[in-house]
Amino acid sequence: MAQFKEHLSVEVTGAFSPHARGPLTRAQVLAHFAYDDRPVPARADSALGDRPLAGVRILAVEQMQAVPFATQLLAHLGAEVVKVEHPTQGESGRAAQPSIRDDDGRAVGATYLRNNLGKKSIGLDLKHPRGVDLLRRLVPHYDVVAENFKPGTMERLGVGYDVLAADHPGLVYVSVSGFGGLLPTPYGAWPAYAVVAEAMGGFYSFRPEPGRLPNIGVAGALGDIGSALFAAIGTLAALEGRRRTGRGQRVDVAMFDAMLPLMDMVLFNPSIGIRDNSLAAWPGICTSFAARDGLFVVQVGREHQFERFAAAVGHPQWLADPRFATREGWSKHLDDVIRPAVERWARERTKLEASRVLAEQGIVAGPSNDADDLRRDPHVRAHGMVLEVPRPDGGPPLHVAGNPIKLSGSAEPEAQRWPRLGEHTDEILARDLALGAAERAALREAGVIG
Protein backbone atom coordinates (compact mmCIF):
# COMPACT_ATOMS: atom_id res chain seq x y z
CA MET A 1 0.00 0.00 0.00
CA ALA A 2 1.08 3.51 -0.58
CA GLN A 3 2.35 5.14 2.59
CA PHE A 4 1.69 8.71 3.70
CA LYS A 5 4.77 10.86 3.22
CA GLU A 6 5.08 14.59 2.69
CA HIS A 7 4.16 13.83 -0.91
CA LEU A 8 3.06 10.47 -2.15
CA SER A 9 2.86 9.20 -5.66
CA VAL A 10 0.08 6.71 -6.29
CA GLU A 11 -1.93 5.52 -9.21
CA VAL A 12 -5.58 6.39 -8.71
CA THR A 13 -8.55 6.09 -11.00
CA GLY A 14 -12.17 7.07 -11.32
CA ALA A 15 -13.95 8.50 -8.31
CA PHE A 16 -10.99 8.05 -6.02
CA SER A 17 -9.26 11.15 -7.33
CA PRO A 18 -9.69 13.91 -9.88
CA HIS A 19 -6.22 12.99 -11.13
CA ALA A 20 -5.49 10.01 -13.33
CA ARG A 21 -1.92 9.76 -12.05
CA GLY A 22 0.48 11.99 -10.22
CA PRO A 23 1.78 13.21 -6.88
CA LEU A 24 -0.84 13.90 -4.21
CA THR A 25 -0.07 15.83 -1.09
CA ARG A 26 -1.02 14.26 2.21
CA ALA A 27 -3.60 17.01 2.71
CA GLN A 28 -5.22 16.25 -0.66
CA VAL A 29 -5.51 12.57 0.18
CA LEU A 30 -6.99 13.27 3.61
CA ALA A 31 -9.40 15.88 2.26
CA HIS A 32 -10.70 13.50 -0.37
CA PHE A 33 -10.93 10.42 1.84
CA ALA A 34 -12.72 12.34 4.60
CA TYR A 35 -15.99 12.20 2.65
CA ASP A 36 -15.64 9.09 0.49
CA ASP A 37 -17.31 5.96 1.86
CA ARG A 38 -15.48 3.59 -0.46
CA PRO A 39 -12.40 1.73 0.80
CA VAL A 40 -9.10 2.19 -0.95
CA PRO A 41 -8.56 -0.78 -3.30
CA ALA A 42 -5.49 -2.93 -2.72
CA ARG A 43 -2.69 -2.29 -5.19
CA ALA A 44 -1.08 -5.12 -7.09
CA ASP A 45 2.22 -3.45 -7.93
CA SER A 46 4.25 -5.53 -10.36
CA ALA A 47 7.43 -3.88 -9.11
CA LEU A 48 6.95 -5.46 -5.71
CA GLY A 49 8.03 -9.00 -4.93
CA ASP A 50 6.22 -12.04 -3.64
CA ARG A 51 4.86 -11.94 -0.14
CA PRO A 52 7.44 -13.20 2.38
CA LEU A 53 5.72 -16.50 3.21
CA ALA A 54 5.17 -17.50 -0.42
CA GLY A 55 5.97 -21.21 -0.69
CA VAL A 56 5.12 -22.00 2.96
CA ARG A 57 2.34 -24.59 3.15
CA ILE A 58 0.10 -24.97 6.20
CA LEU A 59 -2.31 -27.83 6.84
CA ALA A 60 -4.84 -26.42 9.31
CA VAL A 61 -6.95 -28.84 11.34
CA GLU A 62 -8.63 -25.87 12.94
CA GLN A 63 -11.93 -24.58 14.25
CA MET A 64 -13.60 -21.36 15.43
CA GLN A 65 -11.10 -18.49 15.88
CA ALA A 66 -7.80 -18.96 17.74
CA VAL A 67 -5.89 -20.93 15.09
CA PRO A 68 -8.02 -19.77 12.12
CA PHE A 69 -7.09 -16.14 12.89
CA ALA A 70 -3.40 -17.11 13.08
CA THR A 71 -3.42 -19.01 9.80
CA GLN A 72 -5.43 -16.27 8.07
CA LEU A 73 -2.73 -13.79 9.11
CA LEU A 74 -0.07 -16.11 7.70
CA ALA A 75 -2.13 -16.42 4.51
CA HIS A 76 -2.18 -12.62 4.23
CA LEU A 77 1.61 -12.85 4.35
CA GLY A 78 1.72 -15.35 1.50
CA ALA A 79 1.40 -18.82 3.01
CA GLU A 80 -0.86 -21.40 1.37
CA VAL A 81 -3.36 -22.53 4.02
CA VAL A 82 -5.40 -25.70 3.49
CA LYS A 83 -8.19 -26.25 6.01
CA VAL A 84 -9.11 -29.80 6.94
CA GLU A 85 -12.85 -29.90 7.64
CA HIS A 86 -15.47 -32.56 8.22
CA PRO A 87 -16.72 -33.45 4.72
CA THR A 88 -20.41 -32.73 5.37
CA GLN A 89 -20.55 -30.47 8.44
CA GLY A 90 -17.39 -28.44 8.06
CA GLU A 91 -15.60 -26.97 11.05
CA SER A 92 -17.66 -25.60 13.94
CA GLY A 93 -17.17 -21.96 12.97
CA ARG A 94 -19.46 -22.53 9.99
CA ALA A 95 -22.35 -23.07 12.41
CA ALA A 96 -21.85 -19.75 14.23
CA GLN A 97 -24.60 -17.12 14.23
CA PRO A 98 -25.43 -14.90 12.52
CA SER A 99 -24.86 -16.58 9.18
CA ILE A 100 -25.35 -16.00 5.47
CA ARG A 101 -26.23 -18.40 2.67
CA ASP A 102 -23.26 -19.31 0.47
CA ASP A 103 -23.58 -19.92 -3.25
CA ASP A 104 -23.49 -23.68 -2.64
CA GLY A 105 -26.64 -23.35 -0.52
CA ARG A 106 -24.87 -23.89 2.82
CA ALA A 107 -25.09 -21.53 5.76
CA VAL A 108 -21.78 -19.94 6.73
CA GLY A 109 -21.43 -18.42 10.19
CA ALA A 110 -19.89 -15.10 11.13
CA THR A 111 -16.93 -16.66 12.94
CA TYR A 112 -15.98 -18.58 9.81
CA LEU A 113 -16.51 -15.62 7.48
CA ARG A 114 -14.04 -13.33 9.20
CA ASN A 115 -11.28 -15.85 9.95
CA ASN A 116 -10.83 -17.84 6.75
CA LEU A 117 -10.19 -15.47 3.87
CA GLY A 118 -7.84 -16.72 1.19
CA LYS A 119 -7.73 -20.33 2.41
CA LYS A 120 -8.47 -23.63 0.73
CA SER A 121 -10.83 -26.30 2.12
CA ILE A 122 -10.50 -30.05 1.96
CA GLY A 123 -13.30 -32.26 3.29
CA LEU A 124 -11.78 -35.15 5.26
CA ASP A 125 -13.32 -37.38 7.93
CA LEU A 126 -10.66 -37.91 10.58
CA LYS A 127 -12.85 -40.40 12.44
CA HIS A 128 -12.56 -42.75 9.48
CA PRO A 129 -9.32 -44.79 9.28
CA ARG A 130 -8.92 -43.94 5.62
CA GLY A 131 -9.31 -40.25 6.45
CA VAL A 132 -6.52 -40.52 9.01
CA ASP A 133 -4.36 -42.30 6.45
CA LEU A 134 -4.95 -39.53 3.91
CA LEU A 135 -4.01 -36.85 6.43
CA ARG A 136 -0.80 -38.66 7.33
CA ARG A 137 0.07 -38.95 3.66
CA LEU A 138 -0.62 -35.26 3.13
CA VAL A 139 1.53 -34.03 6.03
CA PRO A 140 4.98 -34.55 4.40
CA HIS A 141 3.90 -32.12 1.68
CA TYR A 142 3.43 -29.31 4.23
CA ASP A 143 5.69 -27.20 6.39
CA VAL A 144 3.21 -26.67 9.21
CA VAL A 145 0.29 -28.50 10.81
CA ALA A 146 -1.84 -26.22 12.98
CA GLU A 147 -4.63 -27.35 15.31
CA ASN A 148 -6.69 -26.03 18.22
CA PHE A 149 -8.54 -29.00 19.59
CA LYS A 150 -8.62 -29.95 23.25
CA PRO A 151 -5.27 -31.54 24.21
CA GLY A 152 -5.30 -35.25 23.50
CA THR A 153 -7.86 -35.08 20.67
CA MET A 154 -5.36 -35.29 17.84
CA GLU A 155 -3.57 -38.14 19.63
CA ARG A 156 -6.82 -40.08 19.98
CA LEU A 157 -7.44 -39.60 16.27
CA GLY A 158 -3.98 -41.00 15.53
CA VAL A 159 -2.51 -37.76 14.17
CA GLY A 160 -0.76 -36.28 17.20
CA TYR A 161 2.64 -34.61 17.05
CA ASP A 162 4.72 -37.71 17.77
CA VAL A 163 3.05 -39.68 14.98
CA LEU A 164 3.25 -36.90 12.40
CA ALA A 165 6.81 -35.89 13.35
CA ALA A 166 7.91 -39.49 12.81
CA ASP A 167 6.48 -39.25 9.29
CA HIS A 168 7.92 -35.77 8.72
CA PRO A 169 10.86 -34.80 11.02
CA GLY A 170 10.92 -31.25 9.64
CA LEU A 171 7.29 -30.63 10.61
CA VAL A 172 6.35 -27.53 12.61
CA TYR A 173 3.30 -28.56 14.63
CA VAL A 174 1.34 -25.68 16.17
CA SER A 175 -1.24 -26.20 18.93
CA VAL A 176 -3.45 -23.65 20.68
CA SER A 177 -5.68 -24.70 23.58
CA GLY A 178 -7.05 -23.22 26.77
CA PHE A 179 -4.23 -24.41 29.00
CA GLY A 180 -1.62 -25.96 26.72
CA GLY A 181 -0.45 -29.48 26.09
CA LEU A 182 3.31 -29.46 26.66
CA LEU A 183 3.55 -28.56 30.35
CA PRO A 184 1.57 -29.66 33.43
CA THR A 185 -1.63 -27.81 34.32
CA PRO A 186 -4.42 -28.49 36.82
CA TYR A 187 -6.91 -27.13 34.26
CA GLY A 188 -6.16 -29.45 31.36
CA ALA A 189 -9.63 -31.01 31.33
CA TRP A 190 -11.43 -27.65 31.34
CA PRO A 191 -13.09 -26.33 28.18
CA ALA A 192 -11.99 -22.79 27.38
CA TYR A 193 -13.43 -19.99 25.32
CA ALA A 194 -11.89 -16.54 25.03
CA VAL A 195 -13.77 -15.19 28.06
CA VAL A 196 -12.30 -17.90 30.32
CA ALA A 197 -8.74 -17.08 29.26
CA GLU A 198 -9.44 -13.36 29.67
CA ALA A 199 -10.93 -13.84 33.14
CA MET A 200 -8.18 -16.14 34.38
CA GLY A 201 -5.54 -13.86 32.85
CA GLY A 202 -6.73 -10.94 34.98
CA PHE A 203 -8.62 -8.80 32.45
CA TYR A 204 -11.77 -8.55 34.52
CA SER A 205 -9.99 -7.65 37.75
CA PHE A 206 -8.39 -4.59 36.15
CA ARG A 207 -10.04 -1.16 36.42
CA PRO A 208 -12.71 -2.23 38.95
CA GLU A 209 -15.66 0.09 39.53
CA PRO A 210 -17.62 0.00 42.82
CA GLY A 211 -21.08 -1.51 42.41
CA ARG A 212 -20.50 -2.62 38.83
CA LEU A 213 -19.71 -6.07 37.50
CA PRO A 214 -16.90 -6.27 34.95
CA ASN A 215 -17.87 -5.91 31.31
CA ILE A 216 -17.30 -9.47 30.10
CA GLY A 217 -16.01 -9.83 26.55
CA VAL A 218 -15.43 -6.10 26.21
CA ALA A 219 -12.58 -6.69 23.75
CA GLY A 220 -14.48 -9.21 21.65
CA ALA A 221 -12.51 -12.45 21.34
CA LEU A 222 -9.18 -11.09 22.56
CA GLY A 223 -8.51 -14.43 24.25
CA ASP A 224 -8.57 -16.02 20.80
CA ILE A 225 -6.89 -13.29 18.80
CA GLY A 226 -4.15 -12.65 21.36
CA SER A 227 -3.39 -16.37 21.45
CA ALA A 228 -3.41 -16.44 17.65
CA LEU A 229 -0.76 -13.74 17.44
CA PHE A 230 1.55 -15.68 19.74
CA ALA A 231 0.86 -18.83 17.70
CA ALA A 232 1.81 -17.00 14.50
CA ILE A 233 5.03 -15.72 16.07
CA GLY A 234 5.83 -19.20 17.35
CA THR A 235 5.23 -20.64 13.90
CA LEU A 236 7.65 -18.20 12.28
CA ALA A 237 10.25 -18.84 15.00
CA ALA A 238 10.01 -22.61 14.52
CA LEU A 239 10.27 -22.26 10.75
CA GLU A 240 13.42 -20.17 11.17
CA GLY A 241 14.77 -22.77 13.60
CA ARG A 242 14.13 -25.49 11.03
CA ARG A 243 15.91 -23.46 8.38
CA ARG A 244 19.01 -23.44 10.57
CA THR A 245 18.85 -26.97 11.96
CA GLY A 246 16.69 -28.98 9.58
CA ARG A 247 14.50 -30.07 12.49
CA GLY A 248 10.91 -29.18 13.15
CA GLN A 249 9.31 -28.90 16.57
CA ARG A 250 6.04 -28.45 18.39
CA VAL A 251 4.78 -24.94 19.15
CA ASP A 252 2.32 -24.92 22.05
CA VAL A 253 0.32 -21.83 23.11
CA ALA A 254 -2.01 -21.84 26.10
CA MET A 255 -4.69 -19.15 25.84
CA PHE A 256 -4.36 -18.58 29.60
CA ASP A 257 -0.61 -17.97 29.19
CA ALA A 258 -1.17 -15.61 26.26
CA MET A 259 -3.36 -13.32 28.35
CA LEU A 260 -0.73 -12.63 31.03
CA PRO A 261 1.60 -10.55 28.84
CA LEU A 262 -1.38 -8.82 27.21
CA MET A 263 -2.58 -7.70 30.65
CA ASP A 264 0.85 -7.56 32.24
CA MET A 265 0.02 -4.80 34.74
CA VAL A 266 -2.26 -7.10 36.74
CA LEU A 267 0.71 -9.29 37.58
CA PHE A 268 3.36 -6.57 37.72
CA ASN A 269 1.66 -3.78 39.64
CA PRO A 270 1.52 -5.42 43.10
CA SER A 271 5.22 -6.20 42.90
CA ILE A 272 5.97 -2.48 42.59
CA GLY A 273 3.49 -1.47 45.28
CA ILE A 274 0.33 -0.74 43.29
CA ARG A 275 -2.64 -2.57 44.81
CA ASP A 276 -5.57 -0.54 43.50
CA ASN A 277 -5.94 -0.70 39.72
CA SER A 278 -9.09 1.41 39.56
CA LEU A 279 -9.09 4.57 37.44
CA ALA A 280 -10.05 6.52 40.57
CA ALA A 281 -6.73 5.56 42.13
CA TRP A 282 -4.70 6.57 39.09
CA PRO A 283 -3.17 10.03 39.58
CA GLY A 284 -4.12 11.97 36.49
CA ILE A 285 -6.83 12.16 33.85
CA CYS A 286 -7.68 9.06 31.84
CA THR A 287 -11.29 9.16 30.75
CA SER A 288 -13.78 9.82 27.99
CA PHE A 289 -15.61 13.09 27.39
CA ALA A 290 -18.78 13.78 25.44
CA ALA A 291 -18.61 15.76 22.20
CA ARG A 292 -21.39 16.67 19.79
CA ASP A 293 -21.54 13.25 18.14
CA GLY A 294 -20.05 10.87 20.67
CA LEU A 295 -17.13 10.29 22.99
CA PHE A 296 -13.44 11.04 22.77
CA VAL A 297 -10.74 9.86 25.16
CA VAL A 298 -8.00 11.88 26.81
CA GLN A 299 -5.03 10.86 28.90
CA VAL A 300 -3.11 13.51 30.83
CA GLY A 301 -0.54 12.17 33.25
CA ARG A 302 2.20 14.81 33.43
CA GLU A 303 2.36 18.43 34.42
CA HIS A 304 3.34 19.83 31.03
CA GLN A 305 0.43 17.92 29.49
CA PHE A 306 -2.00 19.42 32.01
CA GLU A 307 -0.73 22.91 31.18
CA ARG A 308 -1.46 22.35 27.49
CA PHE A 309 -4.78 20.67 28.23
CA ALA A 310 -6.03 23.52 30.43
CA ALA A 311 -5.08 26.10 27.78
CA ALA A 312 -6.58 24.10 24.91
CA VAL A 313 -10.01 23.78 26.56
CA GLY A 314 -10.03 27.45 27.55
CA HIS A 315 -9.21 27.23 31.26
CA PRO A 316 -5.63 28.41 31.76
CA GLN A 317 -6.67 29.62 35.25
CA TRP A 318 -6.55 25.99 36.41
CA LEU A 319 -2.78 26.30 36.52
CA ALA A 320 -3.01 28.77 39.42
CA ASP A 321 -5.78 26.87 41.19
CA PRO A 322 -4.43 24.97 44.24
CA ARG A 323 -6.96 22.18 43.59
CA PHE A 324 -5.00 21.26 40.50
CA ALA A 325 -1.51 21.58 41.96
CA THR A 326 -1.01 17.80 41.93
CA ARG A 327 -1.95 14.90 39.67
CA GLU A 328 -4.10 13.54 42.49
CA GLY A 329 -5.99 16.84 42.43
CA TRP A 330 -6.75 16.45 38.73
CA SER A 331 -8.39 13.08 39.32
CA LYS A 332 -10.14 14.22 42.51
CA HIS A 333 -11.82 17.12 40.70
CA LEU A 334 -12.38 15.36 37.39
CA ASP A 335 -16.14 15.00 37.66
CA ASP A 336 -17.06 18.18 39.53
CA VAL A 337 -14.85 20.68 37.64
CA ILE A 338 -12.90 19.29 34.70
CA ARG A 339 -15.55 17.18 33.00
CA PRO A 340 -18.27 19.88 32.88
CA ALA A 341 -15.78 22.42 31.54
CA VAL A 342 -14.35 20.12 28.88
CA GLU A 343 -17.78 19.00 27.72
CA ARG A 344 -18.97 22.60 27.41
CA TRP A 345 -15.89 23.24 25.25
CA ALA A 346 -16.53 20.10 23.15
CA ARG A 347 -20.31 20.28 22.70
CA GLU A 348 -20.08 22.20 19.41
CA ARG A 349 -17.28 20.00 18.11
CA THR A 350 -17.34 16.49 16.76
CA LYS A 351 -15.33 13.93 18.67
CA LEU A 352 -12.77 13.94 15.86
CA GLU A 353 -12.53 17.73 15.84
CA ALA A 354 -12.08 17.85 19.61
CA SER A 355 -9.41 15.17 19.42
CA ARG A 356 -7.60 16.97 16.62
CA VAL A 357 -7.46 20.26 18.55
CA LEU A 358 -5.99 18.49 21.56
CA ALA A 359 -3.61 16.29 19.58
CA GLU A 360 -2.23 19.30 17.75
CA GLN A 361 -1.26 20.69 21.18
CA GLY A 362 0.57 17.47 22.05
CA ILE A 363 -2.24 16.11 24.24
CA VAL A 364 -3.01 12.40 23.99
CA ALA A 365 -6.56 12.22 22.63
CA GLY A 366 -8.64 10.30 20.12
CA PRO A 367 -12.25 9.63 19.14
CA SER A 368 -14.09 6.56 20.38
CA ASN A 369 -15.04 5.05 17.04
CA ASP A 370 -17.86 2.77 15.99
CA ALA A 371 -18.15 0.68 12.82
CA ASP A 372 -19.28 3.59 10.62
CA ASP A 373 -16.45 5.77 11.90
CA LEU A 374 -13.91 3.07 11.12
CA ARG A 375 -15.26 2.45 7.65
CA ARG A 376 -14.97 6.14 6.76
CA ASP A 377 -11.75 6.94 8.58
CA PRO A 378 -9.05 8.17 6.16
CA HIS A 379 -6.27 6.36 7.99
CA VAL A 380 -8.16 3.06 8.04
CA ARG A 381 -8.97 3.25 4.34
CA ALA A 382 -5.53 4.44 3.26
CA HIS A 383 -4.00 1.52 5.18
CA GLY A 384 -6.33 -1.03 3.61
CA MET A 385 -7.70 -2.05 7.00
CA VAL A 386 -11.26 -2.64 5.81
CA LEU A 387 -11.50 -5.55 3.39
CA GLU A 388 -14.74 -5.56 1.44
CA VAL A 389 -15.71 -9.15 0.68
CA PRO A 390 -18.67 -9.61 -1.68
CA ARG A 391 -21.60 -11.61 -0.34
CA PRO A 392 -22.91 -14.44 -2.52
CA ASP A 393 -26.49 -13.70 -1.45
CA GLY A 394 -26.38 -10.25 -3.02
CA GLY A 395 -26.36 -8.33 0.25
CA PRO A 396 -23.95 -5.52 1.06
CA PRO A 397 -20.31 -6.61 1.25
CA LEU A 398 -18.85 -7.99 4.45
CA HIS A 399 -16.32 -5.77 6.21
CA VAL A 400 -13.40 -7.80 7.54
CA ALA A 401 -10.40 -6.27 9.30
CA GLY A 402 -7.34 -6.18 7.07
CA ASN A 403 -3.72 -7.04 7.73
CA PRO A 404 -1.94 -4.42 9.87
CA ILE A 405 1.50 -5.68 8.80
CA LYS A 406 2.67 -3.47 5.93
CA LEU A 407 5.77 -4.49 4.01
CA SER A 408 7.77 -2.16 1.79
CA GLY A 409 8.88 -4.84 -0.65
CA SER A 410 5.78 -7.00 -1.00
CA ALA A 411 2.56 -6.42 -2.89
CA GLU A 412 -0.64 -6.02 -0.88
CA PRO A 413 -2.96 -8.85 -1.96
CA GLU A 414 -6.52 -8.42 -3.09
CA ALA A 415 -9.09 -9.63 -0.56
CA GLN A 416 -10.11 -13.21 -1.25
CA ARG A 417 -13.28 -14.85 -0.02
CA TRP A 418 -13.57 -17.81 2.34
CA PRO A 419 -13.59 -21.32 0.82
CA ARG A 420 -16.70 -23.35 0.17
CA LEU A 421 -16.77 -26.60 2.13
CA GLY A 422 -14.53 -29.11 0.36
CA GLU A 423 -13.99 -26.71 -2.54
CA HIS A 424 -10.36 -27.80 -3.01
CA THR A 425 -10.54 -31.49 -2.05
CA ASP A 426 -9.99 -32.77 -5.57
CA GLU A 427 -7.26 -30.24 -6.30
CA ILE A 428 -5.28 -31.06 -3.16
CA LEU A 429 -5.60 -34.84 -3.34
CA ALA A 430 -4.69 -34.86 -7.04
CA ARG A 431 -1.74 -32.51 -6.63
CA ASP A 432 -0.26 -33.79 -3.37
CA LEU A 433 -1.15 -37.49 -3.46
CA ALA A 434 -1.68 -38.04 -7.19
CA LEU A 435 -5.10 -39.60 -6.52
CA GLY A 436 -7.04 -40.10 -9.71
CA ALA A 437 -10.68 -39.31 -10.32
CA ALA A 438 -11.81 -42.91 -9.75
CA GLU A 439 -10.00 -43.12 -6.40
CA ARG A 440 -11.47 -39.83 -5.27
CA ALA A 441 -14.94 -40.91 -6.33
CA ALA A 442 -14.64 -44.10 -4.29
CA LEU A 443 -13.47 -42.15 -1.23
CA ARG A 444 -16.34 -39.72 -1.65
CA GLU A 445 -18.83 -42.55 -1.96
CA ALA A 446 -17.50 -44.02 1.29
CA GLY A 447 -17.92 -40.69 3.05
CA VAL A 448 -14.17 -40.26 3.65
CA ILE A 449 -13.86 -37.05 1.64
CA GLY A 450 -16.25 -34.33 0.60
Rg value, the chain, Cα: 26
Do 447 and 148 touch, CB atoms closer than 8 A? no
339: Cβ–Cβ under 8 A, 6 or more apart, which residues?
Answer: 287, 289
Do 92 and 180 touch, CB atoms closer than 8 A? no
Number of residues that this document lists for the chain? 450
- Distance (Å, rounded) from C-alpha 267 to C-alpha 185? 19
- Distance (Å, rounded) from C-alpha 78 to C-alpha 164? 24
Angle between helices 222-245 and 66-76 (to 10 degrees): 60
- Distance (Å, rounded) from C-alpha 2 to C-alpha 226? 28
Own/partner pairs, 101-108, CB within 8 angstroms, 24+ separation: 101/392, 101/393, 102/392, 102/420, 103/392, 103/420, 104/420, 104/421, 106/420, 106/421, 108/418
DSSP label at residue 102: -
ω into 98 cis (within 30 of 0): yes
Q: Apex CA 25: angle with CA 24 and CA 31, to 5°?
A: 95
| Candidate list 125, 143, 224, 257, residue with the active-site label | 224
- Distance (Å, rounded) from C-alpha 274 to C-alpha 416? 47
Tell me whether residue 224 is one of the annotated catalytic residues: yes
- Distance (Å, rounded) from C-alpha 362 to C-alpha 371? 27
Angle between helices 339-346 and 351-360 (to 10 degrees): 110
83: Cβ–Cβ under 8 A, 6 or more apart, which residues?
Answer: 60, 62, 68, 71, 91, 116, 119, 120, 121, 122, 419
Tell me which H or E stretch contains 23.
strand 21-25
Instruction: Give the residue numbers marked as catalytic.
Output: 224
